[in-house]
Structure 1
Amino acid sequence: MSAAAASFLAGSRQLLRNPAVLMGAAILVLVVMAALLAPLVAPYAPNKLSIANKLQSPSLLHPFGTDEFGRDILSRAIFAGRVSLMVSLGVVALSTVLGVILGVAAGFFKSLDAPISRLLDAMMSFPDILLAIALVAALGPSLTTVIIALGITYAPRLARIVRGSTLVLREMPYIEAAITLGLPTWQVLVRHLLLNLASPILVQATFVFASAMLAEASLSFLGVGVSTDMPTWGTMLASGREYMNSAPWLMVFPGLAIVASVLSLQLLGDGLRDLVDPRLTKER
């Protein structure tokens, strides 16, 4: 076994002994499994109306209660997790692709560093949610446009991380040797640079996942997210505002779903950061 593999296994064992990471992983697995198996585990159809049963408090028939149209809150929360995970995965994929392209270009090619850095600075000068709202307003509200808007919004975060790591790696002896030997630029980037950027990209992608999930809920809460036909945690919170005093469960359970999901991703991200950070590895 190589030294790198042994170090990774040791770090993985240390990670699995962290109760916070285990709790985050357990919550995330529960959310993912519920979303994937939504038609099987949800007791009712998410949009099934039953005016006779509107605003019922939690009971055996409706563990999370019902909303103002008699729809089952538990079923809607489970199906809303599907939308949230779908959006977040799309945002992570798009922002990672854009962030890696911009970050590597800025860090490896010195002539592109200044213009790309100014572009990233300009994008990051706007609050994330305001930039996302502006992009959704320009493109029109839908599932696809929310993914595109949030992917563009969070791409600068990954780009800055990738740029900083690329600037360091570009000066490493093996990169300089590969350039000196005349290897094609694409081969240097793929074989010698991107492989060494995998760890910081993975860690940052975890935090982007959590941020995208929270941003999607915020956009839906403001009414500029996905179609209202789709149940989302944000729209459930928005519709429950009018009944905050008389039927608090309309906001409590969707809010808890958001908090639990985002918290689980933050805990996992912290654990992964500890695992891949060389300074923390040495301290162990």
Structure 2
Amino acid sequence: MMLTSLTMPYAAGLKRLFGNRAILLGAIILAIVVLAAILAPWVAPYAPNKLSIVNKLKAPSWSHFFGTDEFGRDIFSRAIFAGRASLLVSLGVVVISTVLGIILGVAAGYFRRLDAPISRLLDAMMSFPDILLAIALVAALGPSLPTVILALGITYAPRLARIVRGSTLVLRELPYIEAAIAMGLPTWQILTRHVLLNLASPILVQATFVFASAMLAEASLSFLGVGVSTDMPTWGTMLASGREYMNNAPWLMVFPGLAIVFSVLSLQLLGDGLRDLVDPRLAKES
């Protein structure tokens, strides 16, 4: 009886989670993209950088599902391997921006003396367009995979920091936080047990949007030639090289573009679904 009562909330939570169509559809699309990237060496019919000049600019066919580029490389294989770079960069950006956002947001929201200087720093960073700030940081650090991840992580950290700061300001005034302070509990214990645990839901939701934004930003940087090394196939570099042949070989841009669209769409659907799921007002209505 006790086991049944304990498992009922989890069963109800799973039912709500998978009953949300946006989350389900987004999860399915993202799972396909992730699995294709992980299993790229076995899924891709050709090596991503294999040259075949005699097959250059071939239209989609049974031998080359997405056609070939100006060097005869298989677009389908390159698109699958390019997903690895995009997912790796986006995941690294989410980790860095989340860590920085939590540190800055909690410090600004919980420690009143730090609120003003940290808020001004966040305002200054957010006053620049994301892509311009990322380009400036990459130019200063040098274009490479680690610097792109670091630059985009710093660029998107203020988004998460703002969310964390606002939530921390609300949590700090709640009675149980004030009671913990009055009881003399260590600050680190209050932050870890009472503040951070209650910030998990908004951070998770915002992280999905940062993931999507980072994927678009990485493609933009690669398209502009200031992203990762050109030796590594990315959707952005594929779009950049295909624009010269857009009229004669449109598949060079169509398929990498669709890969970006579906990947970002899946993350946006996940983010919207999770936001609706954790919204307290929706929880009350259900």
Please, which of 176, 179, 187 is the counterpart of residue 177 of structure 1? 179
Decide whether aligned partners of structure 1 residues 150 and 248 sit closer, same or farther in structure 2, where only a CA change above 3 A counts. same
Q: Is the aligned partner of 1:127 residue 2:129? A: yes
Distance in 2 between residues matched to 1:128 and 1:193, nearest whole Å: 29
Indicate conservation of the 8 Å contact 2:109/2:165, yes or no: yes
Q: What's the counterpart of residue 17 of structure 1?
A: 19
Give RMSD over aligned pairs. Answer: 1.5
Q: What's the counterpart of residue 86 of structure 1?
A: 88
Q: CA deviation at 1:261?
A: 0.1
Q: What's the counterpart of residue 232 of structure 2?
A: 230
Q: What is the CA deviation profile of residues 101-131 of structure 1, one whole-angstrom value per residue up to 9, with x for unaligned ones? A: 0000000000000000000000001010000
Q: CA deviation at 1:283?
A: 1.9
Q: Is the aligned partner of 1:28 residue 2:30? A: yes
- Which amino acid counterpart does residue 208 of structure 2 have in structure 1? T
Q: What's the counterpart of residue 68 of structure 2?
A: 66
Indicate conservation of the 8 Å contact 1:55/1:69, yes or no: yes
Q: Is the aligned partner of 1:99 residue 2:80? A: no
**Displacement over 6 Å in runs of 4+:** 1-5
1:151-230 aligned at under 5 Å gives the runs 151-230=153-232
Query: TM-score, normalising length from structure 2?
Result: 0.96
Q: What's the counterpart of residue 142 of structure 1?
A: 144
Indicate conservation of the 8 Å contact 1:223/1:235, yes or no: yes
Structure 2 unmatched ranges of 5 or more: none
Helix, strand or coil at the partner of 1:257: helix
- Which amino acid counterpart does residue 52 of structure 1 have in structure 2? V
Name the count of aligned residue pairs.
Answer: 284
Q: CA deviation at 1:85?
A: 0.5
Structure 1 unmatched ranges of 5 or more: none
Indicate conservation of the 8 Å contact 2:22/2:272, yes or no: no
Distance in 1 between residues matched to 2:200 and 2:167, nearest whole Å: 10
Helix, strand or coil at the partner of 1:106: helix
Q: Is the aligned partner of 1:50 residue 2:52? A: yes
Distance in 2 between residues matched to 1:6 and 1:136, nearest whole Å: 50
Distance in 2 between residues matched to 1:120 and 1:5, nearest whole Å: 42
Distance in 2 between residues matched to 1:3 and 1:271, nearest whole Å: 27
Indicate conservation of the 8 Å contact 1:207/1:265, yes or no: yes
Q: What is the CA deviation profile of residues 9-67 of structure 1, one whole-angstrom value per residue up to 9, with x for unaligned ones? A: 43542332233322211110000000111111110000000000000000000000000
Decide whether aligned partners of structure 1 residues 3 and 172 sit closer, same or farther in structure 2, where only a CA change above 3 A counts. farther
Please, which of 11, 26, 43 is the counterpart of residue 41 of structure 1? 43
Indicate conservation of the 8 Å contact 1:103/1:159, yes or no: yes
Q: CA deviation at 1:189?
A: 0.5
Report which stretch shifted further, 101-110 or 23-32: 23-32
Distance in 1 between residues matched to 2:217 and 2:42, nearest whole Å: 28
- Which amino acid counterpart does residue 260 of structure 1 have in structure 2? F
- Which amino acid counterpart does residue 182 of structure 1 have in structure 2? G
Distance in 1 between residues matched to 2:230 and 2:165, nearest whole Å: 39
Query: TM-score, normalising length from structure 1?
Result: 0.97
Indicate conservation of the 8 Å contact 1:11/1:281, yes or no: no
Distance in 2 between residues matched to 1:275 and 1:63, nearest whole Å: 39
- Which amino acid counterpart does residue 268 of structure 2 have in structure 1? Q
Q: What's the counterpart of residue 258 of structure 2?
A: 256
Distance in 2 between residues matched to 1:213 and 1:8, nearest whole Å: 32
Indicate conservation of the 8 Å contact 1:11/1:275, yes or no: no
Distance in 1 between residues matched to 2:7 and 2:198, nearest whole Å: 15
Distance in 1 between residues matched to 2:147 and 2:39, nearest whole Å: 26
Distance in 1 between residues matched to 2:208 and 2:57, nearest whole Å: 37
Q: What is the CA deviation profile of residues 242-277 of structure 1, one whole-angstrom value per residue up to 9, with x for unaligned ones? A: 110100000000000000000000001111111111
1:1-12 aligned at under 5 Å gives the runs 9-12=11-14
Distance in 1 between residues matched to 2:26 and 2:63, nearest whole Å: 29
